[in-house]
A and B are shown apart, each in its own frame.
Chain A
Amino acid sequence: MIYAKMRRSFVVILTAAALFVPHKTWAWGHVGHTVIAYAAEQLLTPEAKEKCHHYLRSTLAYQASWMDHYRSIEGYTDCDWWHSTNIDANYKVVVGKPTTGAFHIERIRKEMLNGGYKTMPDSLVKVNLRYLIHMIGDHHCPAHVRWNKEEHPQFHYALAHKGKKKSYHSFWDGSVGYWRKGWTAERFYAEMMKLSKSAAKKVQRGDGYAWTQETADVARGCFRLMPAGTEITKMSQEERADVHSVADRQVQRAAYRLAWVLNEIFSE
């Protein structure tokens, strides 16, 4: 009897807590992007860091989710498509299509390289940096490759969270912090495995298309890892570790590559 009362009490307390604690979204969105941008900033040369701060008037992390906030604002709605890139029927990344993010990663890189940024107004450099910071992050998220529904019907399904439908996309968007609530970007970075110079060199090559292709290949593995209807709350420790392993590796690659791109742009 007393236990039943206590149980009810805990339910009341937990309900009260749920009502008054500020709501957090499921986002990788913000957590993943902040971690990538924060980690990338630690890998910048002093010169590149100073230039980024000069143009952004903030750290990279502060601008990491800007594209998400402005995607539906007049003047920026075209960029709504730039958060992901299409994959064709043969599992190959679609090249040269202006409604894809990979296209714009490469366009902006080329325009800014070799001192190109110096010919741009500061406001354009700023917005281009915001795009690169966000798009390079997005293109390492397994949910940010677009599978045509007719060509790849097998990749269009939902997961489950406490018996309710949970979109596959939103799960992977939130995968970095899903089971690590309250971690700061500093903690993620401290626990992130740092790459040796030679390993970093291997990661830091290629381009937006190659990275997206790699992400598409990773994404196919993710579908095997979490088939349709997977109940997220019932995943074992090993299965969770597998998710973290994929998410962390992608975050790490994104951070190293973002730093590489910015170091290259701002090297004299």
Chain B
Amino acid sequence: MRKIVLLCAALFVGTLSASAWSSVFDKTALLVASQNYNEVTKELVVHYVSGDFTRPEGYLAMCRNNGRMSESKGWHRLHLDSNLQPAAKDENDAYVQIERALEVVRNHKEHKKADVGVAIQTVMNLVIDMHNIANVTLDAHPKSAADFQVSTSRGSANGRKPKIWQQSWRDLWTHRFATHRGAYSPQMYAEDLAIMFADKRVEYMAGTLRDWATDIGKYTSSVYEIVERNDNNFHHATVQAHEELHMSCVARAGLRIAALLNENLK
């Protein structure tokens, strides 16, 4: 019995750690994508995947939990060299796997329907994952987001006791922004993103997968520099001030999924 319990606990933890971003942001990015699909893409996504555009959320992790695609465990990572160019040393890299899946998407008429479905959902999952700085490793920064322990505090105005949170930057980025807005749904986030980044839509969708990897490297570097400059200690306001960057990553991910599928799914 104890073995079963431990196995259950391990599976539970495994499921969570495999989820690169909070579910609400995965769904939000997929909603943003669906709002930017052209008519052909919409029709083909429905044909190959489903009519619920947010269903592929956590697809690869779900496959692994069902004993399939175990090789995909390390695909969510993005490795960039000192020039912020993709520099994967092995198969465990989002950039490599997205390129591979796009080959299938581009030639979808030549593949089995199920394989195209897997490829589309792989693109969706990994484009989201690579936009989460928690999954990015930079040659210029030996540490990753999981290594940065940050202490954030809310000051003690007017005699109020200060509140202090201790967590890794990865947890902060991946979960805290999702939990501090009670009652918020992916639809509500998507509506906000449409307003917040209306003037950035074209800019975010332009370019190639390689350009986007560099773009992600730039904002990841900027976050790491801020972490180091502040000696890993932040005021709550500094964290709040980064929420817009965090939201822009979700918007970029969604818009770029749409750009890739609109371009390749013809």
Given contacts A22-B175, A23-B179, A73-B237, contact A184 B192 (CB under 8 A): no
Contacts of B114 in A (CB 8 A): none
Within 8 A of B (CB), among A155-204: 177, 183-186, 188
Contacts of A77 in B (CB 8 A): 157-158
Tell me the minimal C-beta distance from B16 to chain A in angstroms.
5
Q: Are B184 and A61 in contact (CB under 8 A)?
A: yes
- Is A38 positioned at the interface, with any CB of B under 8 Å from its CB? yes
- Interface residue count on the B side (C-beta < 8 Å): 37
A29 to B, closest residue via Cβ = B182
Tell me the minimal C-beta distance from A17 to chain B in angstroms.
7
- Is B22 positioned at the interface, with any CB of A under 8 Å from its CB? yes
Binds B, one of A5-13, A102-110, A125-133, A223-231: A5-13
A184 to B, closest residue via Cβ = B185
Contacts of A13 in B (CB 8 A): 5, 8-9, 12
Which one of A24, A34, A69 lies within 8 Å of B179 (CB-CB)?
A24
Tell me the minimal C-beta distance from A42 to chain B in angstroms.
12
Within 8 A of B (CB), among A41-96: 53, 57-59, 61-62, 65, 69-73, 77, 80-81
Q: Are B155 and A73 in contact (CB under 8 A)?
A: yes
- Is A35 positioned at the interface, with any CB of B under 8 Å from its CB? yes
Tell me the minimal C-beta distance from B15 to chain A in angstroms.
9
Tell me the minimal C-beta distance from A83 to chain B in angstroms.
11
Given contacts A13-B8, A80-B158, contact A184 B175 (CB under 8 A): no
**What are the interface flags for A1-29 relative to B under an 8 Å C-beta threshold, 1 for contact and 0 otherwise?**
01001100100110011001011100101
Contacts of B12 in A (CB 8 A): 13, 16-17, 20
Given contacts A73-B155, A73-B235, contact A34 B9 (CB under 8 A): no
Q: Are A184 and B160 in contact (CB under 8 A)?
A: no
- Is A244 positioned at the interface, with any CB of B under 8 Å from its CB? no
Q: Are A30 and B154 in contact (CB under 8 A)?
A: no
Given contacts A22-B179, A58-B195, A80-B160, contact A12 B184 (CB under 8 A): no
Within 8 A of A (CB), among B1-28: 1-2, 4-5, 8-9, 12-13, 16, 22
Q: In the bound complex, what is the Cα–Cα distance between A183 and B188 (angstroms)?
A: 13
Q: Are A12 and B183 in contact (CB under 8 A)?
A: no
**What are the interface flags for B141-161 relative to A under an 8 Å C-beta threshold, 1 for contact and 0 otherwise?**
000000000000011111010
Q: In the bound complex, what is the Cα–Cα distance between A27 and B191 (angstroms)?
A: 23
- Is B229 positioned at the interface, with any CB of A under 8 Å from its CB? no
Given contacts A59-B188, A61-B184, A184-B188, contact A9 B1 (CB under 8 A): yes
- Is A31 positioned at the interface, with any CB of B under 8 Å from its CB? yes
Contacts of B181 in A (CB 8 A): 30, 34, 62, 65
A186 to B, closest residue via Cβ = B185
Contacts of A80 in B (CB 8 A): 157-158, 160
Q: Are A20 and B182 in contact (CB under 8 A)?
A: no
Q: In the bound complex, what is the Cα–Cα distance between A30 and B183 (angstroms)?
A: 8
- Is B187 positioned at the interface, with any CB of A under 8 Å from its CB? yes
Contacts of A69 in B (CB 8 A): 236-237, 240
- Is B96 positioned at the interface, with any CB of A under 8 Å from its CB? no
Contacts of A62 in B (CB 8 A): 181, 188, 192
Tell me the minimal C-beta distance from A240 to chain B in angstroms.
19
Given contacts A12-B5, A13-B5, A13-B8, contact A20 B16 (CB under 8 A): yes
Q: Are A58 and B5 in contact (CB under 8 A)?
A: no
Given contacts A6-B1, A53-B195, contact A185 B157 (CB under 8 A): no
Q: In the bound complex, what is the Cα–Cα distance between A6 and B8 (angstroms)?
A: 13
Q: In the bound complex, what is the Cα–Cα distance between A24 and B48 (angstroms)?
A: 37
Q: In the bound complex, what is the Cα–Cα distance between A81 and B240 (angstroms)?
A: 21
A53 to B, closest residue via Cβ = B195
B174 to A, closest residue via Cβ = A22
Tell me the minimal C-beta distance from B139 to chain A in angstroms.
31
Q: Are A61 and B188 in contact (CB under 8 A)?
A: yes
Contacts of B5 in A (CB 8 A): 9, 12-13
Q: Are B182 and A177 in contact (CB under 8 A)?
A: yes
Contacts of B235 in A (CB 8 A): 73
Q: Are B158 and A81 in contact (CB under 8 A)?
A: yes
Contacts of B176 in A (CB 8 A): 22
A5 to B, closest residue via Cβ = B1
- Is B87 positioned at the interface, with any CB of A under 8 Å from its CB? no
Q: In the bound complex, what is the Cα–Cα distance between A263 and B9 (angstroms)?
A: 52
Q: In the bound complex, what is the Cα–Cα distance between A73 and B155 (angstroms)?
A: 7
Across the A-B interface, the 6 shortest Cβ-Cβ residue pairs: A31-B182, A30-B182, A72-B155, A72-B157, A184-B185, A16-B9
Q: Residues on B close to A: CB < 8 A? A: 1-2, 4-5, 8-9, 12-13, 16, 22, 154-158, 160, 162, 175-176, 178-185, 187-188, 191-192, 195-196, 235-237, 240
Q: Residues on A close to B: CB < 8 A? A: 2, 5-6, 9, 12-13, 16-17, 20, 22-24, 27, 29-32, 34-35, 38, 53, 57-59, 61-62, 65, 69-73, 77, 80-81, 177, 183-186, 188
